[in-house]
Amino acid sequence: MKRELKFCLVYRDMWQSSGKYTPRVDQLLKVADPIIKMGCFSRVETNGGGFEQINLLYGENPNQAVRQWTQPFNDAGIQTQMLERGLNGIRMSPVPADVRRLMFKVKKKQGTDISRSFDGLNNPQNLANSFAFAREAGMIAQGALSLTYSPLHTVDYYINLADQYIDLGAQEICIKDMAGIGRPVSIGKIVKGIRDRHPDILIQYHGHSTPGLSVASSLEAARAGADIIDVGMEPLSWGTGHADLLTIHAMFKDAGFSIPDVDTRAYMEVRSLTQSFIDDFLGYYINPRNRFMNSLLIEPGLPGGMMGSLMADLENNLKSLNKWLKKNNKTELTQEDLLIKLFDEVKFIWPKMGYPPLVTPFSQYVKNAALMNVIQMEKGRERWSMLDENTWGMLTGNSGQLLGPLGEELMAIAKKQKREFYTGNPQDLYQDELELFAENMDKRGWDYGEDDEELMEYAMHPTQYEDYKSGKAKERFLKDLEERKAKKEGESSAAVIPVPSTATPAVNLQPKNLTIDVDGESFNVTVSYNDGDGQAVVNNTTAAPVPVNQTPAPKPKSNGNVQEITAPLEGKFFLTRESSEIPIKVGDTITAGDTIAYIESMKVINAISADKSGKIVEIVARHGEEIEEDDVILTIG
């Protein structure tokens, strides 16, 4: 008797692995019926990940979208599944436990059957609540093993990890090969090991196609005992997405598995509708590079889904770097030169950073550290001289324990900077917040929504929700879309205004500057909120108040040898990052290596160290304002 295999269409992930946005709810409702008519899917991935925040970014209510989008599949008996990030819920920064619990309750009420929960560090401790809250809400709790390839991430490691997830309450296991770099034979051994120990557990394989291994991995997983295989379909299969349904279907049919037939007419309708959504507006947010496979990513192990943001970062930083190289009579680099150097640096530093699985947000942290190292070393500076605060949060245990030890250089830097390592439960770092957000909604006269879904959404994505409610999000999105259309059609040379990233900016949101009066004295205050979804936040901090509009302190007498300390990169400048931190001031004596300020760049906060010693004569850069690379931060004498 042939063994039965089932398919899951990862329709949400198809879009988010290709570009920034997903279809509007009216478009999703058009494609739901033909997906059902295809007759080959037992599951459809409908929401989670960045889906809800993306709805907010273009001015749509995510709760209404999820309810309407899941309904047709609920009615047809097709299971719906979502992706959630454990401690980070459905955003990229840690979420208080009470908000996480409400999220599961809401998503079940909205029609989502299965929660695929993963942790960026494969930390079982961070997923215990996910499994408990999902089952409490009536959902199926699926634990995802974030796959990567290293001397520590062995077959036995993943089999034992599955044991821990199941002990904590996971009812299903997913092999989540987010970068597509899992070797097929090893994936087969992992699946077989789990199957031998847990004969009745459902196993689902999810592999991205970026370097081209996922087709063979799908076959090995199926032969070893996997029950469900995730697939994509044209026009969004392959590239940084997923293997195409028709390819996987033909392969499994030839291999002798019992698989459902595909209604070709319905397939073509889904294909045509999906293309029409791309032509409508979504194509303006899909980086063409994401439509290609890339075997260069096998060695560094970076997920293909981040190639779009990676290339944008390279382009922006290459301009600044070449400007510096030219100014210093050095040979300029091409984008290919910088890309190869970056990949080599990722391979070099990944073990020294404790082998974090290269999945969101930690893939971003490793990439940022590697890119900053390359740029600094090209300028003759030391490796690790620009390590952002979010990465330090990962390295010091704020998101859980790393699998490997930190390199000696990093440990020495941590000791010098007096950084403390955290070994407790990361959830304990983030106190309950629902009452606070409920009070804010009461003050604004906002309704909590059906099943408290609006309260949950506000607590999960505060600033995006406020912009949605005010209409700012819709206005900003439409303006950006028109400018992108005009640029593409050659009708306007206006610069494109960036849409807020699906990645979380550092300090959870782009800081907002307010000027307040206290007893007649003006202060500039930078405020950030606990929110965001995309590639960044670990630390929930706010910048300290910095006085403005005051009579400047007199400049101390210099020794006649005034020197400048300049910005090592472009971004937004901050004198502090925490309310408890005391900013530097004129007259202070600083020593080379001291942290003097911070610059927000590439969605993370970077600590700026002094490269020389002396007494501060003048602070030139202004707190909360943009700064260019090589701009003067301060002078010393």
Structure confidence at residue 501 (pLDDT): 39
Is the pLDDT score of 520 beyond 90? no
Q: Are 206 and 230 in contact (CB under 8 A)?
A: yes
Instruction: Look up residue 549 and give its DSSP letter.
Output: S
Structure confidence at residue 48 (pLDDT): 95
Contacts of 247 (CB under 8 A, 6+ apart): 215, 237
The CA-based dihedral angle spanning residues 128, 129, 130, 133, taken in that order and rounded to the nearest 10 degrees:
130
Is the pLDDT score of 551 beyond 80? no
Q: How far apart are CA 389 and CA 603, in angstroms?
A: 11
Tens of pLDDT along 421-458?
A: 999 999 999 999 999 999 999 999 999 999 999 999 99
Contacts of 200 (CB under 8 A, 6+ apart): none
Helix pair 25-37, 62-76: axis angle to 10 deg: 10
For the range 449-457, what are the long-range contacts, defined as Cβ-Cβ under 8 Å and sequence gap of 24 or more?
449/63, 450/63, 450/109, 451/105, 451/106, 451/109, 451/110, 452/102, 452/105, 452/106, 453/63, 453/106, 453/109, 453/110, 454/63, 455/102, 456/99, 456/102, 456/103, 456/106, 457/52, 457/56, 457/62, 457/63
Is the pLDDT score of 555 beyond 80? no
Is the pLDDT score of 549 beyond 50? no
Tens of pLDDT along 239-251?
A: 989 999 999 999 9
| Average pLDDT score over residue span 516-533 | 40
Tens of pLDDT along 89-121?
A: 999 889 999 999 999 999 999 999 999 999 999
Contacts of 29 (CB under 8 A, 6+ apart): 68, 69, 72
Q: How far apart are CA 307 and CA 405, in angstroms?
A: 28
Is the pLDDT score of 510 beyond 80? no
Of the listed ranges 28-37, 186-195, 598-607, the one predicted with least confidence:
598-607
Contacts of 444 (CB under 8 A, 6+ apart): none
Tens of pLDDT along 380-411?
A: 888 998 888 889 999 999 999 999 999 999 99
Q: How far apart are CA 320 and CA 629, in angstroms?
A: 7
| Average pLDDT score over residue span 39-49 | 97
What is the percent of the chain where pLDDT is above 70?
87
Structure confidence at residue 567 (pLDDT): 87
Tens of pLDDT along 274-324?
A: 999 999 999 998 888 778 887 877 877 777 666 656 766 777 788 888 888
Structure confidence at residue 444 (pLDDT): 96
Question: Out of 2.40.50.100, 2.120.10.30, 3.90.1150.10, 3.50.50.60, which CATH number does the structure's domain 512-636 have?
Answer: 2.40.50.100
Is the pLDDT score of 507 beyond 60? no
Q: How far apart are CA 357 and CA 126, in angstroms?
A: 15
Q: Are 226 and 203 in contact (CB under 8 A)?
A: yes
| Average pLDDT score over residue span 458-483 | 94
3-state secondary structure of 543: coil
Which one, of 418, 361, 417, lies nearest residue 391 by Cα? 361
- Between 543 and 335, name the one with better pLDDT: 335
H or E stretch including 35?
Answer: helix 25-37
Structure confidence at residue 502 (pLDDT): 38
Which one, of 419, 459, 425, lies nearest residue 440 by Cα? 459
- Between 501 and 258, name the one with better pLDDT: 258
When the pLDDT of each residue in the chain is averaged and rounded to a whole number, the result is 86
Measured from the Cβ of residue 618, the count of other Cβ atoms closer than 10 Å reads 18
Helices (H), 303-334: 307-327
Q: Are 527 and 88 in contact (CB under 8 A)?
A: no
Structure confidence at residue 66 (pLDDT): 98
Q: Give the predicted TM-score (pTM) of the model.
A: 0.80
| Average pLDDT score over residue span 569-596 | 83
| Average pLDDT score over residue span 179-189 | 94
Q: Spelled out in words, what is the top-level CATH class assigned to the domain 6-291?
A: alpha beta
Q: How far apart are CA 439 and CA 467, in angstroms?
A: 18
- Give the burial string for 406-445 (b: 16+ CB within 10 Å, else e): beeebeebbeeeeeeeeeeebbebbeebbeebbeebeeee
- Between 511 and 360, name the one with better pLDDT: 360
Phi-psi region of 49 (alpha: psi -120 to 50; beta: other; left: phi over 0): left
Q: Are 559 and 637 in contact (CB under 8 A)?
A: yes
pLDDT band at 488 (very low <50, low <70, confident <90, very high): confident
Is the pLDDT score of 503 beyond 60? no
Structure confidence at residue 553 (pLDDT): 44
Range(s) within the chain of domains with CATH label 3.20.20.70: 6-291
pLDDT band at 611 (very low <50, low <70, confident <90, very high): confident
Range(s) within the chain of domains with CATH label 2.40.50.100: 512-636
